[in-house]
Amino acid sequence: MRQLSDVKYANYEETSVDIYLPETATFTTIVNFHGGGLDHGSKNGTTLQMLAKAFTDVGYAFASVEYRMYPKAKFPDYLVDCAKATAFVRKYVKDYGGNGEIVVMGQSAGAWISLMLCLNRKYLEDEGLNPDDVKGWFIDSAQTTSHFNVLTQERGENKLAQRIDEYAPLFYVNENTRFTKMMLILYDNDMVCRYEQNMLFYRAVLAFNPEADIRYKLISGKHCSLGKQQDENGESLYVKAFLDWMGNDL
């Protein structure tokens, strides 16, 4: 594995990406957005570094993105940053063997960001990237209603409020909703309402588009805990779930 650290994709202090490259001639690239409620978290957290190695071991590149967060950022700064990062990484890795295919992945707040980029096409299109060119969306415990920290930081609402407005992926689900394929990772001991939010999203997508390639996997554990889970041989269950979803299509 080769690591390219703190590669700048925009002109802000925070806007950089760590790119982990596999020992293969060509590869598909995962663009990952970390969690942390839009006000903390890091692209180089311990779990993400473990996942980066696990993914490169099976032939994927792993790009871990840093983006602006509260209190310095406001909606939609973090969405703009992550759209820029996605388009940037897709082009950048071609010089190292990238085959042009990308999968977008996120955990918690990063999963919310991923869904917002998927469903509100303007963010990626503004960066010259067609959302249909994203090979798949791997969503780990996203809030599908309006993100709680947007509500608390910008509207002064209680973080438990359930809203569906322009800050909610569900707001953009309609008869025009299309994406290549999507996996939702859910937990039986998640944050309040998180399981229900994801099931509502899943049902809403299929109500508009019964042929949509959307699946979910229910995990025994707490919020975003799959990233730390391993099988009896020490292999990442997160990567296994990803590979089972993607098949052998590297």
For 215, residues 6+ apart whose C-beta sits below 8 A from its C-beta are 182, 183, 184, 245
Q: Give the model confidence (pLDDT) of 136-186 as tens digits.
A: 999 999 999 999 999 999 999 999 999 999 999 999 999 999 999 999 999
Q: How confident is the model at residue 250 (pLDDT cuts 50, 70, 90)?
A: very low
Q: Cα(133)–Cα(110) distance, rounded to whole angstroms?
A: 19
Question: Between helices 109-119 and 77-92, what is the axis angle to 10°?
Answer: 80
Mean pLDDT of 121-125: 97
In the DSSP assignment, the letter for residue 236 is: B
Domains identified in the chain and CATH numbers: 2-246 (3.40.50.1820)
- The DSSP output letter for 130 is -
Residue 54's beta-bridge partner residues? none
Three-state DSSP state, 204 = helix
Q: How high is the pLDDT of residue 121?
A: 96
Assess whether pLDDT exceeds 80 at residue 1: yes
Q: What is the pLDDT of residues 198-219, one digit of tens each?
A: 999 999 999 999 999 999 999 9
Q: How far apart are CA 162 and CA 39, in angstroms?
A: 19
Give the predicted TM-score (pTM) of the model.
0.97
Paired tokens of 238: 């997160």
CA distances from 82 to 2, 32, 88, 105, 124 (A): 23, 9, 10, 11, 9
